[in-house]
Chain A
Amino acid sequence: MTMQVLQAIEVSRHFDVSRPFLQRALSREGRRILRAVDGISFDIAAGTTLSLVGESGCGKSTVARLAVGLYTPTDGEIRFEGQPLSSARAQPALRRKMNMIFQDPYASLNPRWRVADIVAEPIRAFNILSGTKTINDRVGQLLTQVGLSAADGEKYPHEFSGGQRQRISIARALSSEPEFLVCDEPTSALDVSVQAQILNLMRDLQQKLGLTYLFISHNLAVVRHMSDRLGVMYLGRIVEEGPGEDIFRTPRHPYTRLLLDAIPDISAVGRSRTPVGGEVPSPISPPAGCTFHPRCGLANERCKVEKPPQTKVGNVLVACHAVAEGRS
């Protein structure tokens, strides 16, 4: 049986975005709850990659933070190697196995530390190596792996370009030798050739060491290249989930189809894309029924009132009435 490294079971995360009490009382409005993640489930098997895609603000980074325990679920449960995440996090031996590359490479690097110390921090914290020379050599090796040089360790983060800083945070994430790595837009600031180097490195590490990835990117070509499985998110829910190739070849959910249609194409010089039409609904007061219905060409009365359950179509789970009813 394949081991599940991460399991999310009906996980939700809500944020209270109410205005201060007095203002609320004066204008007689209630509390306002933003459902950033709303009851999602998925498994990630050891040595595989699950990617999450979806519109900006749909909850991907919130899932990423939940997966490494930076947020606690409002509801539902996350298990790491079969144990509740909170108890796994309490054990240094297990905590060391997970790490995260943050979406914002600026905010996540301490500006007062030299790059060598930033990269060495997890090595020291978890006692992975000892001896100054051994640690320095390892840091130099990590920096070289991401296309920087050992001598760059002397410098401070502000002396680097955006993409160079992103590579520093990748080097730091790899330095703890994690087995499970959450990558939130890990190559967004990189040019395509350095991006290819980093993605090739990540694939090599996966093949050699069996790393497991939760991978988030807006670049669908990158996602296709990296993923075993794919989850498409819309407004805090997973609307389609299954083997990446199946979804890319035959997208079924109307939102997935729109998403794949909106990709820019380098052969289309000067062409204009039609943006996905319709208003992006607010996660504070999401539409009833299927939250995609106001923008969906296939929506009918049922879609407006009844939340679509996940239906299995081939190897893929799709949450759409039209797909389930064969109307698509």
Chain B
Amino acid sequence: MALLDVQNLVVEFPGRRGVLRALDDISFSIGEGEILGVVGESGAGKSLTGAAIIGLLEPPGRVASGQILFDGKRIDNLSSDQMRPIRGKQIGAIFQDPLTTLNPLISIGRQLTETMQAHLKLSDRDARARAIGWLEQVGIPAAADRVEAFPHQFSGGMRQRVVIALALCAEPRLVVADEPTTALDVSIQAQIITLLKNLTKSHGTSVMLVTHDMGVIAETCDRVAVMYAGRIAEIGPVRDVVLSPSHPYTEGLMGSIPSLETRVERLRQIDGAMPRLTAIPKGCAFNPRCSRTIDKCREQRPGLMPAGSTQAACWVTAA
């Protein structure tokens, strides 16, 4: 049985000018010890998916239909009191925005010890020793010297690493990691990725890893989901999605990666922009930017269909 099972999730924002549907029928699962990568257009709904799982959708945002199962039990309909012990201890979250996670007025060390002591039985002394240990694990130099520092005294990437330590220190079973390595240089990034991979091996921790970095996806994930305009465009084993994508959007995405080997005048891009949530076209949401459209693409919405070894929502390449 999968540790996390998201079924037909719909998230909406009711507003003055009607209801915005930000996630539209999202389904996927993550097994124990598995790392699922989530990629896709900026604004596609990756962070919202993560927020829905940890029960932190910002009102008026709400789960309008569908369900989220954690270890076989529904968690999408829990009250915030019921959700609190699950968050942190069962499901750890690394948010995209490190500054809002950290309290600017409390020292880094105290934020770590408080989080650990809320979930694990630890003496002050042990908690402090562990806090320093976690800072070392995420590669903060001179950790013992800097455990008293406040967030503003750390660089962008150092703060991000503190957020990672905070998410991992209570040893959760599932980690929702939203862009955990974007502010990090490649060597620290490698260290964090190794840390996550080791946790999946030694503790069977499961990870939902949202990132724009295809290199990180390629070397870390077992499977990848590609999102576009609030829907999943393609999902499958990492090798197939990255190296032989089926959906035209995935193909465009992989083609836009700047190469380190050759320098070109202009990077390849997918022309046009993702539709606004208020103006999602009929049929396939990607059809105005797609070069392979047939009439059906403008009429009927494609669901996920087998396409080689992945599943893709495309009338042309999957059906």
A residues touching B (Cβ–Cβ < 8 Å)?
15, 17, 19, 53-57, 61, 103-104, 106-107, 147-149, 151-152, 158, 160-164, 166-167, 185, 188-197, 199-200, 203, 218-222, 224-225, 245, 248, 258-259, 262-276, 279-285
Contact = CB atoms under 8 A, between A and B. Distances in A.
B42 A162 contact: yes
A221 to B, nearest CB: 4
The 10 A-B pairs at the shortest CB distance, nearest first, are namely A163-B42, A264-B215, A56-B157, A282-B142, A276-B187, A196-B269, A196-B267, A280-B141, A275-B190, A193-B256
Given A220-B260, A264-B213, A272-B197, 10 more contacts: A53-B185, A191-B42, A192-B212, A192-B256, A194-B42, A200-B267, A263-B215, A268-B219, A269-B242, A273-B194
Contact of B145 (A164, A220, A282): A282
Interface stretch (B147-155, B166-174, B290-298, B301-309): B147-155
B42 A15 contact: no
Contacts of B120: none
Interface string B240-259: 00110000000011101111
Contact of A218 (B39, B149, B185, B217): B185
A161 B189 contact: no
A219 B242 CA distance: 19
A225 B141 contact: no
A189 B242 CA distance: 20
Interface string B254-283: 101111100110111110011010000000
Contact of A266 (B148, B158, B242): B242
B100 interface: yes
Contacts of B182: 185, 188-189, 218
A264 B186 contact: yes
B213 to A, nearest CB: 7
Nearest to B210: A162
B260 A224 contact: yes
B239 interface: yes
B2 interface: no
A140 B319 CA distance: 39
Contacts of A203: 266
A274 B189 CA distance: 11
Contacts of A222: 258
A193 B276 contact: no
Given A107-B99, A189-B42, A149 B276 contact: yes
Nearest to A220: B260
Contact of B155 (A57, A147, A161, A189): A57
A104 B260 contact: no
B73 to A, nearest CB: 29
Contact of A284 (B44, B145, B179, B259): B145
A266 B212 contact: no
Contacts of B149: 17
A282 B141 contact: yes
A192 B149 CA distance: 35
Contact of A269 (B188, B219, B252, B259): B219
Contact of B239 (A190, A269, A285): A269
Contacts of A264: 186, 189-190, 213, 215-216, 218-219
A297 B208 CA distance: 37
Contacts of A61: 155-156
Contact of B256 (A195, A270, A280, A281): A195
Given A225-B267, A273-B190, A158 B252 contact: no
A221 B215 CA distance: 11
B212 A225 contact: no
A269 B43 contact: no
Contacts of B300: none
Nearest to A192: B256
Given A56-B157, A273-B190, A221 B185 contact: no
Contacts of A152: 276
A280 B142 CA distance: 8
7 contacts: A55-B188, A61-B156, A106-B97, A147-B274, A193-B41, A264-B213, A267-B218
Contacts of B47: 161-162
A217 to B, nearest CB: 10
A108 B44 CA distance: 23
B58 interface: yes
Interface in B24-74: 39-44, 46-47, 58
A221 B267 CA distance: 11
A122 B312 CA distance: 44
A61 B156 CA distance: 8
A240 B288 CA distance: 46
